[in-house]
Chain A
Amino acid sequence: MGLFVLRRLGVMLLTAIALTFVVFYLTNLQPNLEKLARTEGSVRMTEEAVQDWIAQNGHSGSIFMRYGQWLGVVPGWTYTDEKGQMRGRCFEIGQDPTAAPTYCGLLQGNWGYSTFFKTPVMDSLGEKLAATGWLMLAVMLVMVPTSLLLGVLSGMREGSATDRTLSTFSIASTATPEYVSGVVLVALFATAATGISPLLAEYGLIEPKKTLFLASATSAMDDITFWNFALPVMTIALYGIGYIARMTRASMTEVMTQQYIRTARLKGVPFRTVVMRHALRNALIAPFTVIMLQFPWLLNGVVIVESLFNYKGFGWTLVQAASNNDIPLLLACSVVAVVVVLLTQLISDIGYVFLNPRIRLA
Chain B
Amino acid sequence: MTALAPDTPWDPSQPILEIEHLSISFFTRMREIPAVMDFSCTVMAGEAMGLVGESGCGKSTVALGVMRELGKNGRIVKGSIKFKGRDLAQMSDEELRHIRGSEIAMIYQEPMASLNPAMKVGAQLAEVPMLHSGMSKDEAWKLARQIVADVRLPDPDRIINAYPHQLSGGQQQRIVIAMALMAKPALLILDEPTTALDVTVEAGIVDLVKELGEKYGTSMLFISHNLGLVMDVCDRICVMYSGEAVETGNVVEVFDEMRHPYTQALFRSIPLPGADKNARPLISIPGNFPLPHERPPGCNFGPRCDYFQKGRCDAADVPMFPVPGSDRHETRCLRWQEIDWEAPPAKREIKQKAEIGRVVLKMEDLRKYYSVSGGAFGGGMKKVVKANETLSFEAREGETLAIVGESGCGKSTFAKVLMGLETATSGSIMLFDENVQSTPIQKRNTDTVSQVQMVFQNPFDTLNPSMSVGRQIIRALEIFNYGKSDAERHERMLELLDLVKLPRAFAERMPRQLSGGQKQRVGIARAFAGGAKVVVADEPVSALDVSVQAAVTDLLMDIQRENKTTLLFISHDLSIVRYLSDRVMVMYLGHVVEMGTTDQVFSPPYHPYTEALLSAVPIADTKVIRKRIVLEGDIPSAMNPPPGCPFQTRCRWKSQVPGGLCEREVPPVQVLEGGHQIKCHLSRDILAQMEPVIKIAAE
Knowing A268-B102, A361-B376, the reply to whether A263 touches B118 (Cβ < 8 A) is no
User: Contacts A260-B113, A267-B127 given: A355-B118 contact, CB under 8 Å?
Assistant: yes
Most chain B CB neighbours (cut-off 10 Å) among A269, A355, A357: A357
Least distance between A73 CB and chain B CB atoms (Å): 30
- Chain B interface extent, by class: 20 to 34
Stretch at the interface among B93-101, B242-250, B304-312, B583-591: B93-101
Determine the chain A residues whose CB is within 8 A of the CB of B132 once the complex forms. Answer: 268
Asked if residues B101 and A267 are in contact (CB atoms below 8 Å), the reply is yes
Q: Does B16 contact A (CB under 8 A)?
A: no
**Is A268's CB under 8 angstroms from B116's CB?**
no
**What per-residue 1/0 map shows which CB atoms of B87-111 lie under 8 Å from chain A?**
0000000000111111001101010
Q: Does B486 contact A (CB under 8 A)?
A: no
Question: Which B residues are in CB contact (< 8 Å) with A264?
Answer: 116, 127
Instruction: List residues of chain B with CB within 8 A of the CB of A4.
Output: 377
B119 interface contact, C-beta 8 A: yes
**Counting CB contacts under 8 A, is A270 at the interface?**
yes
B residues sitting closer than 8 Å to A (CB atoms) are 67, 69, 72, 97-102, 105-106, 108, 110, 113-119, 127-128, 131-132, 163, 165, 176, 179, 373, 376-379
Which one, B100, B116, B376, contacts A266 given CB within 8 A?
A: B100
Cα–Cα distance between A332 and B551 once the two chains are bound (Å): 72
Contacts A263-B114, A267-B101 supplied; 19 other A-B pairs, CB < 8 Å: A1-B377, A3-B377, A7-B377, A258-B113, A262-B69, A263-B106, A263-B108, A264-B127, A265-B100, A266-B101, A266-B105, A266-B106, A267-B131, A268-B102, A269-B127, A285-B118, A357-B163, A361-B378, A362-B378
Question: What are 12 A-B pairs at a CB distance below 8 A?
Answer: A159-B72, A259-B108, A260-B115, A262-B114, A263-B176, A267-B105, A267-B131, A269-B131, A282-B117, A282-B118, A358-B163, A362-B376
Give every chain B residue within 8 A of A262 (Cβ-Cβ).
69, 114
Closest B residue by C-beta to A265: B69
Kindly state the separation between the CA atoms of A159 and B73 in the bound complex, as whole angstroms.
Answer: 13
A residues in contact (CB < 8 Å) with B: 1, 3-4, 7, 159, 258-260, 262-270, 277-278, 281-282, 285, 355-358, 360-362
- Bound CA–CA A92/B591 (angstroms): 79
| Bound Cα distance A361, B379 (Å) | 11
- Give the most central of B99, B116, B127: most A CB within 10 Å: B116
List, in ascending order, chain B residues with CB within 8 A of A285's CB. 118
Do B100 and A268 have beta carbons less than 8 Å apart? yes
Which residue of chain A lies nearest to B176 when distances are taken between CB atoms in the complex? Answer: A263
B99/A268 in contact, CB under 8 A: yes
The smallest C-beta distance from B529 to any residue of chain A, in angstroms, reads: 34
CB-defined contacts of B98 to chain A, threshold 8 Å: 268
Closest B residue to A3 by CB, please name it: B377
Give the A-B pair count, Cβ closer than 8 A. 84
The 6 A-B pairs with the shortest beta carbon distances in the complex, nearest first, are A268-B101, A267-B101, A268-B100, A259-B113, A362-B378, A260-B116
B105 partner residues in chain A, CB cutoff 8 A: 266-267
Whether A358 touches B114, Cβ cut-off 8 Å, given contacts A268-B98, A268-B102, is no
Q: Which residue of B lies closest to A263 (CB)?
A: B114
B113 contacts A270, C-beta separation under 8 Å? no
Query: Could you tell me the distance in whole angstroms from the C-beta of A286 to the nearest C-beta in chain B?
Result: 13
Cα–Cα, bound, A267→B180 (Å): 8
| Shortest distance between the CB of B113 and any CB in chain A (Å) | 4
Q: Are B110 and A266 neighbours in the complex by a CB distance under 8 Å?
A: no
* Residue of A whose beta carbon sits closest to that of B378: A362
Known pairs A263-B116, A266-B106; A357 contacts B131 (CB<8 A) = no
CA distance A277 to B102 in the complex (A): 19
- The reply to whether B127 and A356 contact each other, CB–CB distance below 8 Å, is no
| Contact across chains for B131 and A266 when beta carbons are under 8 A apart | no
Q: Which residue of chain A lies nearest to B113 when distances are taken between CB atoms in the complex?
A: A259
Residues of A within 8 A of B379 (CB): 3
Cβ of A267: which chain B residues have Cβ within 8 Å of it? 100-101, 105, 127-128, 131, 179
Q: How far is the CB of B376 from chain A (nearest CB, A)?
A: 6
Please pick, from A266, A357, A360, A362, the residue contacting B118 in the complex, using a CB distance under 8 A: A357
**A265 to B163 alpha-carbon distance, docked (Å):** 20
Most buried by B among A260, A281, A356: A260
CB neighbours of B128 from chain A (8 A) = 267-268
- Min distance, Cβ B94 to any Cβ of chain A, angstroms: 9
Q: Nearest chain B CB to A156's CB is how many angstroms away?
A: 13
Q: Which among A263, A278, A358, A361 has the greatest number of chain B C-beta atoms within 10 A?
A: A263
Asked if A356 and B118 sit within 8 Å, CB to CB, the answer is yes
Q: How far is the CB of A173 from chain B (nearest CB, A)?
A: 28
Query: Per a CB cutoff under 8 Å, which of B110, B131, B377 touches A362?
Result: B377
In the docked arrangement, what's the CA distance between A270 and B379, Å?
A: 44
Q: Is the CB of B376 within 8 A of A360?
A: yes
- Residues of A near B113 (CB, < 8 A) are 258-260
Report the bound CA distance from A79 to B463 in whole Å.
71
